[in-house]
Amino acid sequence: MDKPKSLRTLFLTFLKVGTFTLGGGYAMLPLLQKEFVDKLGWLSEEDFIDMLALVQSVPGAMVVNLAIGLGHTLFGFRGALVALAGATMSSLVMLTVIGLFFYEVKDKLSAVEHAFRGINPAVTGMVLASAVGMMARVNKSAISGAIFIITVLVVAYFKLSPIYIIIGAAAAGVLLTRVKEGGHA
Amino acid sequence: MLNTLISLYLTFLKIGTFAFGGGLAVLAMIEKEVVINQGWLTKSQYTELVSISEMTPGPIAINSATFVGAQIAGIPGAIAATAGVVSMSLLLMSVLAKLLMRYQKIPQVQSAFTCLRPAVAALVMCAGISMGMGTITELLPALLCAVSFVLVSHYKVNPILIILGGAVAGLTLM
């Protein structure tokens, strides 16, 4: 059922994600996951999560980084450019217009603000569902569970930047395998 | 004019390079660089910028860069600022994606990713929790959050529909 890979579909998919998701990077994850993993079948769940790990270790906007990373993995550098263009096109057009005519549209924004009282909790539920879905599909071991819990606690209490979590978890992965292999030898 | 465009590009290049932690980190850097250092926007314009970037679809970093660029130097300014904020991402992510492709079969890399995956799921969970702390203050938002969770995780409802449903609920009930 996988759709054939084409730059056109890549562009349109990111355009769709950039146009229809509100509330920043994490709000876009559920839709990106649905499109690339479930609908198009271009990536496995693991590929998607692995790319997300890279994205978290790089500065800048998450969706921009994800677009470049996924585009590059699928089609090389031109894929990165096409995905980036798709992900940013709507923002560019819409915010340029708002930026230029800001004082004319300013009053109309209060209706939008009202809509967001409903959008924000709905997006929260979606992001939580996405996290639970990811956890359900990673390999189930005591170590995975421990890493999950430790990360949640550390980020919640110490507000640690994701990059340290990424470096720490990668180091733990390498060290644990070394310990295991040492045990076998 | 050209000088303005170049300094817009360079300022947003700096913002994109040092903003660790996604769109909200970009907003914090914009406050420092655009409001305090360059004086391109006033404090109250910045407050408006934050709500506009969060209220419009798309990545917050792109929205805010485009908006600032457009206000300072029109359409060329919007393009210069946006190009600046994505340049470092383009460089770093292209290199990382290439490295991932080349080395992902190596056992050490695979074992690193085995531990990275639960950490990434946890980071997404934390993002959801902190979003919830800001928005779920009453029964109705809590209910909306729960319904959206179930619809996405059990019924695989399209996220676009969830967002539209949330907007309708916000306009009619809240």
Q: Mean of the pLDDT values across residues B8-25?
A: 86
Whole-number Cα distances in Å, B46 to A77, B34, B79, B86, B124: 35, 9, 19, 21, 27
pLDDT at B10: 96
Instruction: Find all residues with CB under 8 Å of B158, minimum gap 6, and list them.
Output: A31, A34
- The distance of B14 to chain A (nearest Cα, Å) reads 10
pLDDT in tens, B109-141: 888 998 999 999 999 998 888 888 888 889 999
pLDDT at B18: 87
Q: Which two tokens stand for residue B121?
A: 């799921």
State chain B's mean pLDDT as an integer.
90
B contacts of A49 (beta carbons < 8 Å): 116-117, 120-121
pLDDT at A160: 80
Does B39 reach chain A within 8 Å, measured CB to CB? no
pLDDT at B136: 87
Does A54 reach chain B within 8 Å, measured CB to CB? yes
User: What is the full per-residue pLDDT of chain A (185 aa) written as tens digits?
Assistant: 467 889 999 999 999 998 888 877 788 888 998 899 989 999 998 899 999 999 988 888 888 999 999 999 999 999 999 999 999 999 899 888 888 887 777 777 777 888 888 888 999 999 999 999 888 888 788 889 999 999 999 888 887 878 888 899 999 988 988 887 765 54
Question: pTM (2 decimals)?
Answer: 0.87
DSSP string for residues in B90-110: HHHHHHHHHHHHHHTTSHHHH
Does B16 reach chain A within 8 Å, measured CB to CB? yes
* CA-atom Rg of chain B in angstroms: 20
Confidence of residue B52 (pLDDT cuts 50, 70, 90): confident
